[in-house]
């Protein structure tokens, strides 16, 4: 019989936010008006995808811009799958949110006294604001953290890895988490739990995402029975720096917005052959074009060429990218930069309504972990920071819950070493990159589903973040592969050579997947068997 390990701590809060990126901190600020908020971060407080966001944040604030144009561009990029009501809220609220960030201390770059804008792919206007050239996410998080720390109702707790949701019947009542400093499994009880855990790029071998982006929120929501949606739509950023032995450092789309060009191994500019907007085509188009050029020329990369631009302007506009590339002996003003696509952003996630509510009572989601329908099948560049900055949910209306006494949980008692866990992780990532990547086909997707299903996570002697992250990565990988196999069409970031056209269904349907169902397609979020109207919300 396995020994028992007792939980050492039970905390209580009115609202629990899991994740300390822009979505989580912005939501915490909103929720602080209604009660005590605890924010859990599985690593350091500033370690999130927000920290690495370079390009900027899109809002219709320019003199030649309109909200209606931002709406049109977002819907176009989403390839028919955007939920128009969600997009309308995003673009209409955008200008107000920018001014709110400025009031809280956000310092956007300016031309004199006016805000400075740049253009990115699939935008019809220059509407992307930026900070410190290419450190927009870092500056937004700095301003939000300063605001959050000024509010006494908010408590920030680092090194707390959310393992699973706590349930009381059909209602989410808190979270069990691993205290990485002590190794203990603790609990937080709350009226409502908001997931803001970010993305899932670490499911893939090649990714621009930081190491913390392991799909935790999607996995724990899925295990609790929440409905997941549109997981097959994974955006691959076209230009990640490709230097062997180095991380896949993101080379912002704004580099192409400023005039950078893509060239193949023969130094031929190729994007005009694939799309009329050339380098500023939607990201899915650019990524596929790069892959096709790599395949045609049997190379591992293409080049991003900035040598035709003013060197001093490039250094001022992209100081972080410039200095990082110098570490790899590459000068972006003088050298051709080797690049290739890498997994970047998840359009799908935990299905929510327009206020962040999932179909599980007491559970909410915001930011990249949430599938609101705002991004459709292909996110418009720099709309993600804006979507996360909204961060408003209906969690504040959640009723108080009765406390529950924690129970002892079994220790793991296995023998797997960190090396064995890493070996399994490598297998998952390789399968996803090779068979569920940028260009897909049914035979390979079916092979991926079978291979991932056959994998098991080896059991270590004691619980660890590495172990729990691997469980989450494997579960999310299975869900992505199953969803991609089920969607027999090509749309946005999901491209299948055996189904190269869009399906005839009008309007286009979202995919939905839960613990208790296979993949199903619907315009609305499917209702649970026997559920009430309050228990399952329409999309």
Tokens describing residue 477? 């990988």
DSSP state of 325: H
Q: What angle do CA 254, 257, 258 make, to 5 degrees?
A: 95
Q: What is the end-to-end Cα distance of the chain in Å, rounded?
A: 46
Q: Is 351 helix (H, G, I), strand (E, B) or coil?
A: strand
CB-CB neighbours of 87 under 10 Å: 25
The residue to which tokens 């909103």 are assigned: 30
Of residues 127, 256, 283, 487, which has the active-site annotation?
283
Active site residue 283: yes
Contact 253, 240 (CB under 8 A): no
Q: From CA 397, how far away is CA 413, in angstroms rounded?
A: 41
Helix ranges (DSSP H) in 339-441? 384-390, 418-435
Backbone dihedral angles phi then psi of residue 457, each to the nearest 5 degrees: -85, 120
Q: From CA 332, how far away is CA 316, in angstroms rounded?
A: 12
Nearest to 309 by CA among 327, 332, 330: 332
Backbone dihedral angles phi then psi of residue 315, each to the nearest 5 degrees: -65, -40
DSSP state of 525: P
Query: Residue 337 forms beta bridges with which residues?
Result: 304
Active-site residue set:
283
């Amino acid at each position: 019989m396995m020994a028992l390990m007792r939980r050492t701590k039970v905390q209580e809060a009115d609202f629990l936010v899991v994740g300390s990126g822009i979505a989580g901190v912005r939501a915490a600020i909103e929720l602080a008006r209604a009660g005590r908020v605890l924010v859990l971060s599985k690593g350091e407080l500033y370690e999130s995808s927000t920290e690495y966001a370079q390009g900027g944040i899109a809002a219709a604030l320019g003199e030649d811009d309109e909200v209606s144009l931002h709406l049109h561009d977002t819907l176009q990029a989403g390839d028919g799958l955007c939920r128009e009501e969600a997009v309308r809220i995003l673009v209409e609220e955008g200008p107000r949110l920018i001014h709110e960030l400025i009031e809280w201390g956000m310092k956007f770059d300016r031309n004199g006294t006016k805000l400075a804008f740049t253009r990115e792919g699939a935008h019809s206007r220059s509407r992307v604001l930026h900070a410190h050239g290419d450190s927009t996410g870092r500056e937004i998080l700095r301003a939000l953290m300063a605001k959050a720390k000024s509010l006494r109702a908010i408590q920030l707790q680092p090194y707390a890895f959310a393992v699973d949701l706590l349930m009381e019947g059909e209602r989410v009542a808190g979270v069990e988490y691993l205290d990485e400093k002590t190794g203990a499994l603790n609990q937080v009880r709350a009226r409502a739990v908001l997931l803001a855990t970010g993305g899932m790029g670490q499911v893939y071998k090649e990714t621009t995402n930081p190491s913390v982006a392991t799909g935790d929120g999607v996995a724990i929501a899925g295990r609790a029975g929440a409905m997941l949606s549109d997981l097959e739509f994974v955006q691959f950023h076209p230009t990640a720096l490709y230097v062997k032995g180095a991380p896949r450092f993101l080379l912002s789309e704004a580099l192409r917005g400023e005039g950078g060009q893509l060239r193949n191994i023969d130094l031929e500019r190729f994007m005009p052959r694939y799309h009329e907007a050339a380098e500023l085509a939607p990201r899915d188009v650019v990524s596929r074009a790069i892959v096709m050029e790599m395949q045609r020329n049997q190379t591992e990369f293409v080049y991003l060429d900035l040598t035709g631009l003013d060197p001093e302007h490039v250094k001022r506009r992209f100081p972080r990218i410039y200095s990082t590339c110098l570490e790899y002996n590459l000068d972006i003003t003088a050298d051709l930069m080797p690049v290739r696509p890498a997994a970047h952003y998840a359009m799908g996630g935990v299905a929510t309504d327009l206020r962040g509510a999932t179909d599980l009572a007491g559970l909410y989601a915001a930011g990249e972990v949430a599938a609101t329908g705002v991004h459709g099948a292909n996110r418009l560049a720099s709309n993600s920071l804006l979507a996360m900055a909204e961060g408003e949910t209906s969690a504040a209306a959640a009723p108080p819950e009765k406390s529950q006494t924690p129970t002892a949980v079994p220790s793991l008692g296995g023998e797997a070493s960190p090396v064995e866990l890493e070996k399994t992780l490598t297998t998952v990532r390789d399968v996803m990159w090779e068979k569920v990547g940028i260009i897909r086909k049914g035979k390979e997707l079916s092979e991926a589903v079978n291979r991932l299903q056959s994998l098991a996570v080896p059991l270590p002697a004691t619980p660890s973040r590495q172990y729990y992250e691997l469980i989450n990565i494997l579960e999310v990988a299975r869900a992505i592969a199953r969803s991609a196999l089920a969607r027999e069409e090509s749309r946005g970031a999901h491209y299948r050579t055996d189904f190269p056209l869009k399906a005839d269904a009008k309007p286009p349907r979202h995919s939905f997947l839960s613990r208790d169902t296979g993949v199903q397609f619907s315009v609305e979020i499917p209702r649970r068997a026997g559920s009430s109207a309050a228990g399952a919300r329409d999309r």
